[in-house]
Every structure is written in C-alpha cells, then in structure tokens.
Structure 1
Amino acid sequence: MSGKKSKARRRQLLSNAVRVENIWEEHSYLVGRCACGGDLVAIRFELVRGPAVTHERCEARCACCLRRHNILFDVSEIFRNGRPLEVQDWYATAWPPVTQGPYARRERELEIKLRRVTEEASFSQLTSEQMQQAIGKVYREHGARLLGRYEVLGARTGAFGQVYLCLDTAADSRMVVCKLAVSSENVDLESIRREASVWLGLGEHPNIVSLYDIKTRTEHQVVLVLEAVHPGPQGRTTLSDWIKAKALREQEKRSILGGVVAGMLYCHERIFGFVHADLKPENILISHGFRAKITDFGLARASAMPGLPLGQGFGTPLYLAPECWDSRPPSEASDVYAFGLLAIETLTGKHPFEQSTDRDALR
C-alpha cells in the first residue's frame, strides 16, 4: 500500500513540474520568483533519472532573504531524443568561433569532442553543473588565451574593435567579454579609458553590465573585461535582436523598459550629471528573465568627473535629442528623449523616424 502511495505522490509531483522548452526559460523562471520578490540563485541542478531524461530538480536560494527553494522542471523538450538541444547553437550564433588569427580553434576536433561530452551527459550520471564543467574543459584544451588568462570561445566586431567571449581561468572559469581596442584614426584610447572611468564609477547594478577590469595590453592596445550576458534563443543578445525577431510579448516589453528606467535612474543618482548619450536598442542587452542590462558607456559623460567634460553632438542620429544637433551638450534630458524613442520602438516594433534620413526631420 505504501508503495502505491509513494508512486501516486511521485506522479503528482511530476505533474506539478514547471514545463520549460529550453534552458533560457529554466533560468528565467528563477527571476523574481521568491515571495519577497528577490531572484533565486541556482545552487545545484540534478537530473531525475528514469527511462528517459524528463525532469530536473533545482535547488536554489533567494539572493535577498536567503530562503531556500526546491523547484522541479519538466525538461523533456530540452532532452528530446536523449540529447540536450539549442544552447551550443545559441552561443555559436551570438559568438561565432574564431577561424583566423592567433585565437583560431581546431573546429572539427572541437565539434567532435563537444558532441561526445553532450552525449555522455545524456546517458551517464553527469549533472548539469558537471556537464558545464566538462564543456569548459574541452574549450580550455582547444583555445588560445588572451593576456595569458582569458580562454577565447568566440568573437564579434564591436564599436571600438574586436570583442571576445572568454572563460576567465583565474576566476573559477566564469564567462566574461573582453573588448579589445587598438589605437587608430577611428579609435581614441583616451575615450576608452573615459568609458572605463564612467563604468567603474557606477559599480554593480542588476540593470547594468558590470565592468570587472581594464588592462593595458600594449602601448596602443587596451582590454576592457566585462560581465558576459548569456544569449537567448537563436543567439539573440540585444534588445534590437528581439525587436527585429518580433519575439517579445507585452509583459516582456514592459519588464525590459522598466529595467532600462531602473538602470538609468541608478546611473543618474550614482553620479551627478551623468549622461549616457547613446541610449538605443543595440546598447541594451537582454539577460535571463528578460532583464535589461545597459551597456556601452563609450559616449557617456559625467561632469562630476575631472577631465570628463560634457561632449557635444555625440550619439546615434536616430536617437539624438534635437538640441544635440545644434552642437549643444547632451544632458539628462537627452537620455530621456532617447529612452522615449527606444520605448516606442520596443512597444510598436518600429522607430518613429526610421525611414527618415533628412537632418531637419530628425531634429
């Protein structure tokens, strides 16, 4: 009788599991989930074994009140046909592997070893955490290091130059983004250091991409080491990516815009006279739970910082406040104007002036 009760209870528990279709949804579920409103931080994931991998138990702790939570996920879609899906593809789309230069990988060999690790994880006793460690080990064995410390996983081109997704081997192999800037006619290293000064002055906030460090590689090269934001489905990383894909629901749009407001309010309160001066969808990264994280303070100005005068006429034309077209310095009001345009574009899917190339119309 007790055996029947036990089986009935197990069936009931499994029927109440939270169904997720990908790991993005699994992590997004933890955001703001505690009764106090705090985010849950996953401590351990454990696959519930059976004829097929269908469920995963998550042990988590609230980041605010420290209360412990146990959550059961239905991961049958993630492990459909006995193998984890999508996550590697998302990273490969957002951060294409380096195929040339000093950080190029032996791609065929890497692909074979990664497939072997994921297959072993599906049919052995590896937990999700152990699988991630195994994947990290494969990458470390096949990649070159930036500054002798950062294992390069992928790359893309940024405003100042090449940007790399890396594993920080000196910090428990956490993922970071390294922005490599080389002095040239189009790249002023002083502006990069200015970006770092503003960024470091902001500290940490849930709606801001954290700057961990700035390193001088050579006399003409600097490296900014930033927080890595995990890509979403199909490799979507920025708010612009999500808008173009028309993949946001109304609730998610409101959540993202609320996050941008919270991040900007924090910036203006933290540093007197702060101005981002280049607020746009491309500079808003979207993390788990559709949390907005503001990035790229390369054009930011803060009058409170010595040697950082408010700039004139900077920013992206489609988001530039009218007064800035007349070479007047940007102000807090300029950020409010840019946010208004960003909000319209997020809610409607279109920029109100995107078809216009006329300077007077944009003013």
Structure 2
Amino acid sequence: MTIQLPDATGVLRAYEPRATPLALTPGTPFTSRTVYSAAHVVADPYADVSPDSPAAVDWDATLAFRRHLWSHGLGVAEAMDTAQRGMGLDWVGAAELIRRSAAEARSVGGLIACGVGTDQLTAPGASLADIRKAYEEQLALVEEAGARTILMASRALAAAAKGPEDYLDIYAHLLRQSAEPVVLHWLGPMFDPALEGYWGSSDLDAATDTFLDVIAAHPDKVDGIKVSLLDAQREIDIRRRLPQGVRCYTGDDFNYPELIAGDEQGFSHALLGIFDPLGPLAAQAVRVLDTGNTAGFRELLDPTVELSRHLFQTPTRFYKTGVVFLAWLAGHQSHFTMVGGLQSARSLPHFTRAYQLADGLGLFPDPKLAEERMKNLLSLYGVAQ
C-alpha cells in the first residue's frame, strides 16, 4: 500500500509506509543521565475559541501524554515553551497545567520540573520590581505544587534590563529565596526573538560570562542549567566552566546525541522538546548508554537528528506544530488542533516530510493509523489518493 505525498516542489510522489513500528517498551529507571522531555499540551478541539482566546486544554489527553512519558522513565519539563508558553498558553493556563501535572506526577512517582517566568506581565513597560514580583508569584506556586523549578528567561526582563547588573540582581534574589536548587534556562532568540540580548548583551561571550557569574555566586542553589542556543561548542565550553555539582541539561535539538554522550571531560544531561515525539526511543537509547555502550546509544539516537532538525527548522519557534502533528499521527490525541490555532504555522510539505522521517524511524505505534490520519490531512489540502 502506498500513499501519494507532495514533495517540496508540490509534485506528488508515491511513498510506502513502514509496516511495523519499533518495539519500544517501558524499562528500568536511568542511571547515567537525568532526562526530561518538555511536553506539549493538547487543545480542546470542541471549545469555541479564537486565536486570541485563553487556552482551552483537553486535560485528560494532556495528562495521559505525561503518563506516557513517565512510563518510559522520562521526566516531564512542564509549562515550558513546548507547551506553547507565551504562544497561546497564558499564565492562568500554565498555572493550572502545573497544578494538575504536579499532582499527577505524585500519583505515579514521576519526575517533574516546572517553568517559572513572568508571563503574567502582559502590558509593556514592566519595572524591575514588577518582574521580581511576577517571578516570586510563579516560584511560590511551583514550590507549593511540590515540583522542581526551572527559572525561565523573561521577555519582560529582556525589555527592562539596562545591563548585566539587572540580571545579576534579579536572579540573585530569586536564588536566595528558592527552597530547593533550580534549573536556570537560557533560551536563545531563535526560539523567542523577544529574548535577544539576554543576560545584558547580544555578544554571546559577554552574555555567557554573566550567566556563569550568576551560577558562581550561588552554586548551592543551582541544580543545573539548560542551554538552548543550538550551538554545540558553546554548550561544551559552558559545561566545562560550571562549578562542581552543577549539571548541564542540553536543550540543543540539533546536536543532542553527541552532547549527551559527552567526551573525556564530561557530558550533558537532557531537557529537550524533541524528546516529546522521541520519548520511548530516547529512553531506550539512554538505557543502552547506562550500560556504558556509547556506540549503541549513538546508533539509536543519531538517526533521529534529521527529524529533529526538520521540526526545528527556521522559524524555530514553530517547532511545536510538528511536535503536536506527530503526537496526533502516533495516536496520543484524537485531533490535530492546537492552542492558539498554531496548527497553521507549518506547510503541507513540512508535514509530509515530518511524517516520512518519523515513519522511517518506526515512531508510530500503529503505522496504519498514522497513514490513515496523514491521508485525512492530505484530503483537507485537496490531495486525492
């Protein structure tokens, strides 16, 4: 059985889907790496909303997907940009997501860390005092929920800060009052253009120095860092400069296999959006790495990079569309509808290539279901089979 798929030029070409998926089953907890998947949210397809409406979330399907990730041993990085934080999911929705997911994590013994930011500041012109208060509010909620904290980059702080000293002051204050060590998240402008010049400079060397100064001043309050700059060498350089005991969680969706595998001077743990669609395969690869078999780990994970680079291609911030598209094809949700209507953010050729790459990797538990759903999507675009 073949399916007619349009290529990048619009020409229909026959494609023969894979008949059987990879055999990927839950296994033992990881021993060599701490691994989080940044998880997407499932929209409520029946809600009467517009792109500007508050998010309408299908809570049952959203939490079921998190149980899927936990069942394979992955941690969940909650209410991050993969969950459309700041791109359809506002703070009210994120707060509810954090409460529900943290409770679900407790019920199943799952690892969870939640994003803390300042996105309740929706009007321009927030002061540094406003930003500090907003961070404090979100930090208190996450700690009350019993989850670990990920201190996310703040659009409001990027707009208000006059220089590195403002970042040093805000982060020092937050780290002093955090109950437990946190993960610091440096999200690059390719993921969010509003974060250009974060840490007080568009010069990455200067920004890196400020970032490391924050950590050096409070190493006991920093569990680790998440670096999302899509620059493997910079991550390695930062990793080698971290104080003893502070982990590096790679957020590099272009170069994750080599960064997780590491080198003679160290390695990265992981907190990745691409581990949403790759969850079971990524988990199996890490278990192979746990045995000391780095070559086997790379053999499993290296072939996934082409799919990841495709999903995260420019404009990178729309990678969430591909992530949710693959979740639909894989049967994790009954529809391809996204918060804020973001399902429209990628083209049919983009979806076609994502389907082929994911199918080739054996990621779909039911290849026939994925094929049928792909045909349904094609029909909406006028592609007859």
Same fold (TM over 0.5): no
TM-score (norm 1): 0.28
Q: Which has the higher contact order (CA 8 A, sep 6+)?
A: 2
TM-score (norm 2): 0.27
Structure with larger Rg: 1
